A and B are shown apart, each in its own frame.
Chain A
Amino acid sequence: MTRKLSLLCPVALLCLLTGPALPAHAAAVDVQVTDAAGKPLPGAAVFLESKEARAASKPLAGVDVVQANRQFQPVVSVVTVGTPVSFPNRDTVRHHVYSFSPVKKFEIKLYVGTPTAPVVFDAPGIAALGCNIHDTMAAWVVVVDTPYNGLSGADGKLGLPAVPAGSYRLRAWHPGLPPGAPALDQALQVPASGNLPVVVKITGVAP
């Protein structure tokens, strides 16, 4: 299976743009994520990596992955390196959250409510989370070291405003990708100004 990131630069569209004024040397990147059939793909993690961006990355605060109705919420979380994530249990039953992923191995044994200590994800990578009691519960924490990240919305769109101009690696990942598959990786040149529309097509996504 080929995984290909298609980057389109429709110049004609750029000429017609009449957006608000942007800070100097920065542009807005509008990402449209689709599946192989071209349909909008929601819930995909998209982030832009570069040396500068890694330097600008700072841990987030107050990130929760909630267990409610025997489901993780949200299913996919994108956090920066060093971000502590709490796993509040809003169900009446106990959960046993674990991760055997190399990026972050942990387990929070049977608990109710919010565990006292959040889990700090201190290395970039993708951690698959499960519940030892409920096999159907699954969640992913995508740990990135760039501030320019986000999840595609219901329409498969993600807007990244004020991305400084420069060379980036545009990465994209979706939980439907085969287990262990890395995030897509494609170079992206961000101009000094304006809007950069980018369409990311992720193939090989399981429904």
Chain B
Amino acid sequence: MPPARARLPPRWPAWLQAWRFPALRLSARIVLVSLALLLLVQTAGYVVIGQSIQRNAHAQLGAHMALAERVWQRLLDQRAAKLHQGAAVLAADYGMREAVGTGDLETVRSALHNHGARIGASLAALLGTDLAAKAVGEGADPQLAPALVRLAPQLSQRPGSGVVALVANRPYQFVMVPMRAPALIGWVVMGFPLDQALVDDMHAVSGVHVALVAQPMRGAPLVLVHSFKPPVDTAPLAAHLADGDLQLGGQPHMVATAPVATGSDGRITLRLAGSVEAAVAPFRSLQWMLAIITLLGVALFGAGSLWTARRVTRPLRRLVRAADRLGRGDYDEPVAQDSRSDEIGDLARAFDHMRINVGTQRQQIRQLAYRDRLTGLPNRLQFRDEVQQAIAHADAAGGHIAVVMLDLDRFKHVNDVLGYASGDKLLERVAERLQEVVRDGDLVARLGGDEFALLMRDADVDLAAVVAQRITTAFEQPLLLDDHMVDLSAGLGIAVWPAHATDADALLSRAEVAMYAAKRRTAGAQVYDPAVDTASALNLSLLSELRRAVELGELRLYLQPKIAIRDGSVCGAEALVRWQHPTRGLVPPMQFIPFAEQTGFIRQLTLWMFEQAAAEQVALALLGVRRVSVNLSTRDLLDMELPEKLDAILRRHRALAEGFCLEITESAIMDDPQRAEATLNRLAERGYKLSIDDFGTGYSSLAYLKKLPVNELKIDKSFVMAMEKDAGDAKIVRSTIDLAHNLGLTVVAEGVENEAVLSLLHELQCDEGQGYHMPVAEFCDWVARWQARAPAQPGLAVELRVGAPLLH
């Protein structure tokens, strides 16, 4: 997975992951979120205010236009009044009336023109009482006169107030007043164009632009006159007659309409256009102020949140650095903290507490890891480190290093007899005693159990041997433990650098090898001998090969027949193991059995043999071989779970415990008599026959043997084979047989290889004899042949000799 993806939790969709790039620092996020929220709020406010302004502007504009409409009406009325006044003055003029009365139309026309010009009327005319045009002022538009005739009835109905009408696509305002002398003698009509001056006036007074739009009966509506300065394209005003918003000159305007006149020629409407821009203008500055406040707010907010974020993230970064230091194992530098009383301060303080506590605990763990709790001495780890350092130091200085390793003898007995507390005391005393005898500067360590080691810097083999001797001497003095005198002895191994090893591990290993050698020889101290080590190296490879041998089936089960001496029949057999090595051929048991016992692998071998024998049990029983003996080692006896393991094998092969005899050596029992006895009892309960192997070679007391649930004694072949020639051995055999019989045990003689021995044993009333061994298949054939010949006793020894070489 690419790192960029790994950084994000999977719940983010892909597009968002792309958007989130790059991973923002916390402070940046805080600032961004604050600003985004502020902008959101401000934008919402801006939008609402903007809409409100628009609404207000429209409402204001609407009110303004309604006012403008009334202004327009008032303007028209004023003009009508002006016209009316002018017309009234003319109508009341005595000379005029006289001219009318005397029918002097020439004079009347000039008077009409004169008076009309005075008030700026474009038309002045005299109508008769029948409303027919009698005289029209000079210079008037000829098209006006016919229009007058059409308008006169309407005007006569509303004398005094004006009438607006469209004449030849021009808007006019007309008034008509009666002329009396004193009775009605005619009508004076005056007409005014609604011109640029009017709309300019209108715009000046109302502030609203106006346009007069004509809608002729025929033809498209057109703008007659308008107040826009500079002129704009007013075509939309004629094209769109609905009220509402309209773009004029590229600017939005609100447009309203007021009817001005409706006549046979068409209609005139007034269009009022208020600039939305102008209405909004006063609010623009408000909006600008708002925008500036927003900008200031963003700046302040940004600075504020940045400051706050820094206040949070800076100590966090300090803590990260502190955590890095802790991660590297540096617990000494305090976590930088200030006197803040907020959560960050709490965190820093908690962090520092953690640093101190973890540091302390680490110290304790180191103590536990590198020190032996019981004696307070360095443990194996520490010792190994020290050796490494000493070698490094010596390497640089060109010196020597010596390691003395020692293992107490019979410490287990002390534990078992006096209890573990005494065992512990013993170890403490040993530690003390060791420290007393070593040189100053030498390091004493407890490697585990009853194993101690001594590191001597600048020491050669001779010096180490001297110290080892001092230790041995020191151990000769018995130790008083809870009123018990305990004899101390130990095996000591010496190895030196660089003579024996090139590195610390090898040096320790050599010392250990030497120590074991010393223990085997029960000689106090032993200097490492490479010859010993070769064997140990061989052993190591042997162990792995042995493991492989079990897995690959290289082991072979051999059986050695047991013959009932009384009648010469084959009554049992002892199971033995042979190793068919792929390259070394048949490996003799002496080459791997002791080693297997030493390493504990013997337990696997025992189980393997037991399983093989169980598998053959039925076949052997058919041949009359009722019982197969299997050897148990010391390790087997100490394995408390052995009975259960055997049970499992019996179950697997549907075999019976009664079909087995388990053979135990004296020394195996004596290694841990209590535990051995317990195991033996449990095995006896299950129906196994138990036999003491190699009887006579150990030191077991008969009294002790009597306590054990043993059924059989086996006389070692060294006695049996020699008894023919040695009378002493014969006596031992004889007394052993008698002794065993007296104890109710049967006796098996090993190493029966000739007839003389056999007959001798017969005389001594030995129960069974055991001789050659052979592979299972061969054994079965042999037994069949043997049984068939029975009871031809004299042939036994001869036949026995036919088999494979001797086992022991």
A-to-B contact residues, CB < 8 Å: 98, 100-101, 105, 128-132, 135-138, 178-180
Contacts and interface: CB of A to CB of B under 8 A. Distances in A.
Interface string B164-187: 000000000000000011111100
Given A100-B101, A135-B92, A130 B129 contact: no
Contacts of A178: 129
26 contacts: A98-B94, A98-B98, A98-B181, A100-B97, A100-B98, A100-B100, A100-B101, A100-B102, A100-B185, A101-B101, A105-B101, A105-B102, A128-B182, A128-B183, A130-B180, A130-B181, A130-B182, A135-B92, A135-B180, A135-B182, A137-B182, A138-B182, A138-B183, A179-B129, A179-B183, A179-B185
B97 to A, nearest CB: 7
A129 B101 CA distance: 12
A100 B129 contact: no
A138 B180 CA distance: 10
Interface residues of B, number: 14
B181 A128 contact: yes
A88 to B, nearest CB: 20
Contacts of A180: 129
Interface of B is mostly: mixed
Contacts of B94: 98, 132
Given A98-B181, A128-B181, 18 more contacts: A100-B181, A100-B185, A101-B101, A105-B102, A128-B183, A129-B182, A130-B180, A130-B182, A132-B94, A135-B180, A135-B182, A136-B182, A137-B182, A138-B182, A178-B129, A179-B129, A179-B183, A179-B185
A179 B98 contact: no
A95 to B, nearest CB: 13
Interface of A is mostly: loop
A105 B181 CA distance: 12
A105 B97 CA distance: 13
Nearest to A180: B129
The 7 closest A-B pairs by CB, nearest first: A100-B101, A130-B182, A138-B182, A179-B183, A179-B184, A128-B183, A132-B94
Contacts of B97: 100
Interface string B113-130: 000000000000000010
A115 to B, nearest CB: 18
Contacts of A98: 94, 98, 181
A27 B180 CA distance: 42
Contacts of A137: 182
A98 B183 CA distance: 12
Contacts of B184: 179
Contacts of B181: 98, 100, 128, 130
Contacts of A131: 182
A130 B181 CA distance: 6
A129 B183 CA distance: 9
Contacts of A130: 180-182
A99 to B, nearest CB: 8
B93 to A, nearest CB: 10
A130 B183 CA distance: 8
Contacts of A100: 97-98, 100-102, 181, 185
A135 B92 CA distance: 9
Nearest to A131: B182
A100 B182 CA distance: 9
A180 to B, nearest CB: 7
A178 B130 CA distance: 11
Contacts of A179: 129, 183-185
A205 to B, nearest CB: 14
Most buried by B among A100, A101, A131, A135: A100
Contacts of B102: 100, 105
A131 B101 CA distance: 14
Interface string B125-137: 0000100000000
A138 B185 CA distance: 13
Nearest to B181: A100
A177 B653 CA distance: 160
Contacts of A105: 101-102
Nearest to A129: B182
Contacts of A138: 182-183
A138 B182 CA distance: 6
B100 to A, nearest CB: 8
B310 to A, nearest CB: 97
Contacts of B182: 128-131, 135-138
Contacts of B100: 100
Nearest to A101: B101
A137 B180 CA distance: 11
A138 B184 CA distance: 11
Interface string B88-110: 00001010011011100000000
A135 B100 CA distance: 16
A137 B100 CA distance: 19
Interface in B54-102: 92, 94, 97-98, 100-102
B619 to A, nearest CB: 164
Nearest to A136: B182
A99 B181 CA distance: 8
A98 B100 CA distance: 14
Contacts of A135: 92, 180, 182
